[in-house]
Structure 1
Amino acid sequence: MKLLTFLSNGQEQLGVKTEQGVIHIAAALQAVPAAGAAVPADVHEVINGGGAAVAALQAYVDQALAAAEGKAAGYLLQESDLTLAPCVTRPNKIICVGLNYRKHAEETNAAIPQYPILFNKFNNTLTGHGSDVPLPVKVTSKVDYEAELVIVIGKEAKYVEKADALDHVFGYCNVNDLSARDLQMRTQQWLLGKSCDGFSPLGPYLVTADEVGNPNDLAVRCIVNGEVRQNSNTSDMIFHCDEIVSYISQHMTLVPGDIILTGTPEGVVLGLPEEQQVYLKDGDIVTIEIEKLGSLTNRMVAERV
């Protein structure tokens, strides 16, 4: 199942992507009362409810589509008409893994880490597919793109073994882990360069784990102004998704809705020789594509201050 969150009259609304269009769940429930179990109407209700919530939502989607067949249903929307919010709107934690692709570590002349390198971002960085991302030109001139797979936690996890780790995952999505390299490298802590407003476009969809299958074998691309800059596969990860979830859970409790950014492959601006480095600028269009997860596109816009 592909979940998305969109804005309607300033309010976040849950949608489900289908071949017929996006079902506006709240609007559909007003027109077609649910025949079965209670239907979640918020993405975090779905995540927190786990398999039972997904099953109830899928059953209702089937019911709503059947009711709309051959009719102009007001709850069946065109995705292109929607203003999307982040596909996970209120994560409790945003945890990031640095230098987690072997070729990326090599291109930046960094040692292969012995343990996952963890840092965090905050909710101020979240934005949706299609939104403009402000480049904070007052404080940085070196904003870089990073295509990354995101793990979305679905069940509480503490001291989870690697073999059981993926059982605690609800689903996956795309993120652009934007990074102001000059701020990132100012100190040994990377947080400043990672946490500017809008620096984590997330989406467009939250795709359930059953639909994704093996997260450790997904094609990953980043495209800037039509040019492919990153072209890799999650199989190049140093620490794979099950290892990451298990490792983090040894040190803190992961809860439903937490998101984990799993690192970026080679091809970032930072990995180029200095004389070839051209960082993101006003008007640049950046698209992140991960197999089975759709395309996340955002325009970079110089911040007006």
Structure 2
Amino acid sequence: MRIARVLHTSCPAPLIALERDGCLYDVAELDRFFDTPFSPDRVPGAADFHTRVVALACAGLDVLDEHLRAGERPTEARLWPSDLLWLPPCDKDRSLYVQVDLPASSSEPRYRIGNARGLVGHEAPVPFPAREDSPDVEISIAAVLGEELRHASAEEAEAAILGYALLLGWVARDEERVHGAARARDFAATLGPVLVTKEEAGAVEALRVRARAGGDWTDLPAPRAKDLAMAEAIAFVSGHVTLAPGDVIAGPHLGACGARLAYGAVMEVSADRIGKLGARPMRGPEPPSFRRR
């Protein structure tokens, strides 16, 4: 399945949507149309992403997806791109965001706990620090967990993965040189466009990933056999931090886009079976003085 989280002009609360053949369908309307046990008239909380997708392990969504695959696509459930805002496919107020990497000089991974509230969705603008002249990006595939993990094995971590999404980890290189890694990254990361369940995504280590920043597409290096697999990365983190359902774990960086980022240019990354994620880095506003006048 391909599960999206969007904000629609007709509703003040985020909606769950299913994507099929490039089109989005409102899950609540599908439940109502097909009269499922999760219809909003029966289970009001079923429209909450964390409840339905994470806590209830996508309960009933497979049935709706089968209807869509069979060509049963009610018009009243269709969501039009002009009427919606893409959100990251997680509940960022209830998620931990962890970035894992495998430095070339070390056999042991490193991890950094990022700012989950800084996660933004597909096509959202990304405001960098106002004085940043060297915007950059680190491209990863991220996993969203469906179970709690503590001191997990790689096999247990694999079983706990709910699905995958692309992640653009934005980096202010000037800030990094002066103030360190955390401040250079905590302002934003882009996650999406959808959460692809692991059954549909297949082996993410074998995915072809491409990127571009206002120019031609560049193939990112394929992971090597000795590189850190996603399940191994998650298992390593769980040995230090208790992970909970809904947490977002980004795997090792896949490479660079092959071009220098420019403010205002569209940054895109594409992966087989995962989708195409886009964002537009912008120079942010000058912050006010943090001292009292």
TM-score range for the pair, normalised by the shorter chain length: 0.7 to 0.9
Is the deviation greater in 11-20 or in 228-237?
Answer: 228-237
2:3 maps to 1:3: yes
Letter in 2 for 1:212: A
Alignment partners' CA distance in 2, 1:80 and 1:243: 40
**% identical equivalent positions:** 22
2:65 maps to 1:73: no
1:239-267 per-position Cα deviation (integer Å, ceiling 9, x unaligned): 21121111111122111110111121333
8 Å CA contact 2:30, 2:64 repeated in 1: no
1:35-90 per-position Cα deviation (integer Å, ceiling 9, x unaligned): 5798732321212222xx34x11213445887955xx6211224565321111132
Alignment partners' CA distance in 1, 2:235 and 2:90: 21
8 Å CA contact 1:147, 1:220 repeated in 2: no
Q: Secondary structure at 2:231's aligned position in 1?
A: helix
Q: Secondary structure at 1:137's aligned position in 2?
A: coil
Letter in 2 for 1:59: V
Match of 2:27 in 1: 25
8 Å CA contact 2:16, 2:47 repeated in 1: yes
Alignment partners' CA distance in 2, 1:21 and 1:124: 27
Q: Secondary structure at 2:75's aligned position in 1?
A: coil
By how many angstroms is 1:31 displaced?
Answer: 4.3
Match of 1:86 in 2: 88
- Work out which of the residue numbers 107, 114, 120 in structure 1 matches 2:107: 114
Alignment partners' CA distance in 1, 2:264 and 2:218: 17
2:62 maps to 1:58: yes
8 Å CA contact 1:124, 1:195 repeated in 2: no
1:106-152 per-position Cα deviation (integer Å, ceiling 9, x unaligned): xxxxx4322111112112321111111112223x2211022110011
Alignment partners' CA distance in 1, 2:156 and 2:255: 29
**Structure 1: gaps (5+ residues):** 106-110, 270-277
2:221 maps to 1:232: yes
Q: Secondary structure at 2:47's aligned position in 1?
A: coil
Alignment partners' CA distance in 2, 1:34 and 1:261: 34
> What are the equivalent positions in structure 2 for 1:214-253 lying under 5 Å apart?
214-229=203-218, 231-235=220-224, 238-253=227-242
Match of 1:272 in 2: none
Alignment partners' CA distance in 1, 2:236 and 2:99: 13
2:139 maps to 1:147: yes
Letter in 2 for 1:159: H
Alignment partners' CA distance in 2, 1:61 and 1:35: 15
1:173-229 per-position Cα deviation (integer Å, ceiling 9, x unaligned): 001011111222335x51110111xx2111001000111121222122221103335
2:163 maps to 1:171: yes
Match of 2:282 in 1: 301
Letter in 2 for 1:23: Y
Alignment partners' CA distance in 2, 1:186 and 1:304: 20
Report the count of equivalent residues.
278
2:183 maps to 1:192: yes
2:246 maps to 1:257: yes
2:121 maps to 1:135: no
Alignment partners' CA distance in 2, 1:57 and 1:164: 24
8 Å CA contact 1:281, 1:302 repeated in 2: no
Alignment partners' CA distance in 1, 2:140 and 2:56: 26
By how many angstroms is 1:15 displaced?
Answer: 0.2
8 Å CA contact 2:143, 2:248 repeated in 1: yes
Match of 2:50 in 1: 44
Letter in 2 for 1:87: P
Q: Over aligned residue pairs, what C-alpha RMSD do you find? A: 2.7
Change (3 A) 1:35 1:250: closer
